[in-house]
Amino acid sequence: MLPWNDRIHHGSLQSSGARLRTRSGCGECRRRRKKCDEKRPRCGGCTRNDLECRWPSEVQSIDRRRYLKAQCDLDSTNVLSENKSRVVELVINHSPAASLPPVVAMPGPFHQEEHSQLYRYFAHSVNPCLVRRTSLSRYSENSYILRLALAHPPLMAVLIAVAAISTPSQSPRRISLAVESYLFAIGTVKTGILEGKYAGNEDWLLATTTFLCIFENGRYDTMPNASSHILACGKMLTLRKPKPRNSSQEAIVLERICIESFLYHAALMTLFDPSVDYLSIIKRDLDLPGYFTDPAHPDDAGPGTLVSTQPVLDASYKFFLLIADVTAFAQSSTLTRSVDYRAWANLRDMIVHWEEAIRTNSTNAVENHIGNLYAIALRILLVQTDPGYSNPRDPLESVEILFCRGLKLLTELSVDQLFLYYYLWPLLVVGSVAVEPEEKQIIKQKLSQVSQSRQGGPAALAKYRLEKVWLAGSRCGEQDRHCTLSTQLKTLLEGN
């Protein structure tokens, strides 16, 4: 689960169709009620019959036991709060074709109608959008977390908070309710930990912590501050053992989503906030291979490819570990004059390996711009620490060349997919070496596309970091471009 996905479309809900023979697989096999082998991008059945192979995210085929991957149209309605004599704006579509999940018994203290409505809004409009469209069908129905929330108030609280900040109509009351629910979740969990009520390996507790991260990175009323939640999530994962393959499928799905969400935050957010470098602290106690070993998910998938079947990450977990390692190495190099050449060469070789994987998974028709952009960003961070250069200006010339390639990719990159925040990490690195006004303008425009309608979360943090980086570089004067590049990169890495 990512910081927050802004691409929730508010369309009407459709009623369930007849139960299909296959509960998973492509939409065409579902429509024809044929067993699907789930091979992407085109399954065997569609290949044999020369049919267009569309997957559940692209069509709205339904099993009665699933919620539709569509969203509620929201019309403003006034609902009177039970505890306060104030009118609260609530949004519900009452058209015959649209329906929310049936009313459920909400846990205390969430007995107001608004709480129930937001919980159901989360189930229909938020939950389906927390996984990638290309992910395996087993990730599309995450009803386990909905049932856990009914039994555990802290999890219910944070789901309500996330739902409240994601509705299209916002009001001071809605924001206040979101923050109140968020603080309730934190307070209740802290009290339970102090009283020794939890073992630390509970599914609902891991889910609660994961969604606290999502809420922090999705709010736009303040700058995100998810560092403590990221650390807590990592600690909980070290207290667990990866669920064996014979465990319940829905529990395995939830665990996979949570571990991928943690790795996303821990690997990418370090550059936004150096204090979030928790992965290096707990990596030795975290059984990452155990969590990620799954024949259905290839270990060699690079970013931006069309073959990623994971729920959150668009590349192998090993690629995100490389991002974390390169970032940490570059940050440490600003604090010392000596560089471990063997460690540097190992990171360089790993980047070369992933560049080859990115090229291999590209097609002639579609160049993998986002994958190549990540590779360029990694090289920018590593090349400026190259111990082979005797002149301090030499690596900066290489950085200039890489920047030109990255800027060209940015102008060609179409930011029109789900999970837009994946663009922010390479955008921040490439943007940190933009010097000329026209170069900075390209970065700003692309950042604006990524942030779209929401101005908070990691997009706001990226904008804030770039402004500080560019301000530091401006003090070098217009005549010394190399000094500007060096200062800006150092400012980015040190988090000043």
Question: What are the pLDDT digits (tens) for 301-315?
Answer: 778 766 678 888 888
Question: What are the pLDDT digits (tens) for 118-147?
Answer: 999 999 989 888 888 778 888 877 789 999
Query: What was the pLDDT predicted at 439?
Result: 94
Q: What is the CA radius of gyration of the chain?
A: 23
User: Which is higher by pLDDT, 99 or 326?
Assistant: 326
DSSP symbol at 59: S
Question: What are the pLDDT digits (tens) for 387-441?
Answer: 777 666 778 889 999 999 999 998 887 765 555 667 889 999 999 999 999 999 9
**Number of C-alpha atoms within 13 angstroms, CB side, residue 94?**
4
Mean local confidence (pLDDT), 348-355: 95
| Residue-range domain boundaries for the chain | 110-296, 340-495
Residue type, 430: V
Q: Is 178 helix (H, G, I), strand (E, B) or coil?
A: helix
What share of the chain has pLDDT > 90, as a percent? 34
Which has the minimum average pLDDT: 235-244, 384-393, 436-445, 448-457?
Answer: 448-457
Cβ–Cβ under 8 Å, residues 361 and 305:
yes
Query: What was the pLDDT predicted at 480?
Result: 80
Question: What are the pLDDT digits (tens) for 193-233?
Answer: 999 999 889 999 999 999 999 998 887 777 777 888 988 99
CA–CA separation, 125 and 245 (whole Å)? 30
Mean local confidence (pLDDT), 20-40: 71
DSSP symbol at 292: H
DSSP symbol at 21: S
User: Which is higher by pLDDT, 308 or 241?
Assistant: 241
Query: What was the pLDDT predicted at 98?
Result: 36
Mean local confidence (pLDDT), 274-289: 82
Which has the minimum average pLDDT: 35-44, 145-154, 197-206, 450-459?
Answer: 450-459
Q: Is 19's pLDDT higher than 60?
A: no
Q: In 81-171, where does DSSP find H-type helix?
A: 113-121, 143-151, 153-166
CA–CA separation, 26 and 389 (whole Å)? 53
CA–CA separation, 294 and 45 (whole Å)? 24
Query: What was the pLDDT predicted at 58?
Result: 32
Query: What was the pLDDT predicted at 402?
Result: 95
Alpha carbon 5 to its chain's center: 8
Query: What was the pLDDT predicted at 145?
Result: 93
Mean pLDDT of the chain: 78
